Structure 1
Amino acid sequence: MTDVEIEYCVPCGFLDRAQDIQHALLRQFGERLDRVALVTGDHGVLQVRVGDEVVWDKADDEYDVDEVTRRLREYV
């Protein structure tokens, strides 16, 4: 099973985006995920990680929930 962490910038107001990603991952992969945790951060962070590996990072990629889901597929 897979543990996913979504770290989001609280001061930037990225909670809605983080929740959108969380909901999409749970809808797509459901019980195949052990957990999809929201982790508070700052300095503009919005990252999706599986273990220590960054699967998607706002700093490098456009915000696209479907792309995040596609990238996570290989880990599930």
Structure 2
Amino acid sequence: MTVIEIEYCVPCGLLDSAIKTQTRLLNEFGQDLDAVTFTPGHGGVFIVTVDDETIWEKDVHGANLDVELIVGAVNDRLPAEA
């Protein structure tokens, strides 16, 4: 199974973006995931990891959250169904 971690900046008010991302991932892949967790951070951070591999990072991908890109990256990392 798969664990997703969303680290978000508390002072920047990125909790809503983290919740939006978590909700979309759970709606899309809920039965295939072990967990989608939040890690509070600071310094403008917003990072999404799948099994400890970074798939989206605000400093790399820009300030505009791209949930579709995140969904696609998670889908690419899930085991293929038999």
TM-score (norm 1): 0.94
Task: Detail structure 1 runs of 4+ shifted over 3 Å in the superposition.
Answer: none
1:46 equivalent in structure 2: 46
Q: One-letter code of the match for 1:61?
A: H
Identity, in percent, stands at: 43
What number of residue pairs does the alignment pair up? 76
**Which structure has the greater CA radius of gyration?**
2
Take 1:26 and 1:52, find their aligned partners in 2: how far apart are those partners? 18
1:7 equivalent in structure 2: 7
Take 1:17 and 1:61, find their aligned partners in 2: how far apart are those partners? 15
Q: 1:21-72 deviations in whole A, cap 9, x for unaligned?
A: 0000001101100000011001100010012210111111141111110111
Q: One-letter code of the match for 1:23?
A: T
RMSD, aligned α-carbons: 0.9
TM-score (norm 2): 0.88
**More helix by percentage:** 2
2:68 equivalent in structure 1: 66
